[in-house]
Amino acid sequence: MSHPILYSFRRCPYAMRARLAIAASGIEVELREVALKDKPHTMLNVSPKGTVPVLITTDGHVIDESIDIMVWALQQSDPKNYLCFEPEQQRITTALIKQNDQPFKYFLDRYKYADRYPEHSEQYYRQQAETTLHDLERRLTQNHFLISDRTSLVDIALLPFIRQFAFVDKTWFDQAPYPRVQAWLNQFLNSVSFNTMMIKLAPWKDNDDSIYFPGINSDM
């Protein structure tokens, strides 16, 4: 293979964070959009769990966890020092990603699909998820970004999930008492990199022409 292959799904927040890191690294990959109801056998053969993202490196190594793909990409090329942390920043990064991927994601799913989880109200699930927003708002009073005054791994790792939360009820979110989180999110949503990362593609099939990502410089 001349390029790594990335199996992705445009709206999946885990796949989004992987694409954001790849865009930031400047590494070019062959991007294969996955139809979740018709997953390609070539992906399932290398990663039977069947979730995106899945990256296959040029030497055939398979990476099928989103954070691992992010770290792999930035270890290959990190022109903006997204991985350059002090030990305390590394500790906070790990803690914030764990908080996002476990309790926040749990309540985010229930907030977004409250009709599937009638044990509690949509408002209850939103209030539980807001614990994370309170924490992020507090952190953004101390720095322009989550752990410093520049973008780092943790910002792009959390961004797709905060975006998903915001768009469950955008009217509510826009007037919620999180002005710094709102500004932080909007800065990313208005970036060239984010909009490039959200390119719409038809689901990949065998014998399709290769599509390479990102193809332009990142501004994040």
Q: Is 180 in the same domain as 98?
A: yes
CB distance 219 to 28 below 8 Å: no
Per DSSP, 71 falls in state H
CATH number at residue 41: 3.40.30.10
Over 90: is that where the pLDDT of 211 sits?
yes
Residues 183 and 95 in one domain: yes
Contacts of 170 (CB under 8 A, 6+ apart): none
* Predicted confidence (pLDDT) per residue in 29-74, tens digit: 999 999 999 999 999 999 999 999 999 999 999 999 999 999 999 9
In a domain, 96, yes or no: yes
Same domain, 75 and 47: yes
Residue 196's pLDDT is 86
What residues pair up with 35 in beta bridges, in sequence order? 38
pLDDT tens-digit map of 178-198: 999 999 999 999 998 898 889
Sheet holding 54-56, edge to edge: 62-63, 54-56, 5-8, 29-33, 212-213
Structural domain includes residue 110: yes
pTM greater than the 0.85 cutoff:
yes
User: What average pLDDT does the chain have?
Assistant: 95
Residues 121, 33 share a domain: no
Q: What is the pLDDT of residue 217?
A: 44
Res 40: pLDDT: 95
Active-site choice (12, 29, 73, 158): 12
Shared domain check, 101 and 138: yes
Residue 145 sits in a domain of what CATH number?
A: 1.20.1050.10
Both structure tokens of 185: 């999110």
Place of tokens 């994601």: 105
Task: Tell me the C-alpha distance between 146 and 174, whole Å.
Answer: 20
Structure tokens at 143: 């720095």
Question: What is the C-alpha R_g of the chain?
Answer: 18
117 and 50 in a common domain: no
Residues 123 and 178 in one domain: yes
pLDDT digits (tens, 9 = 90+) for 131-166: 999 999 999 999 999 999 999 999 999 999 999 999
Q: Note if 12 is an active site residue.
A: yes
Q: Domain residues for 156?
A: 87-193
The number of distinct structural domains making up the chain is 2
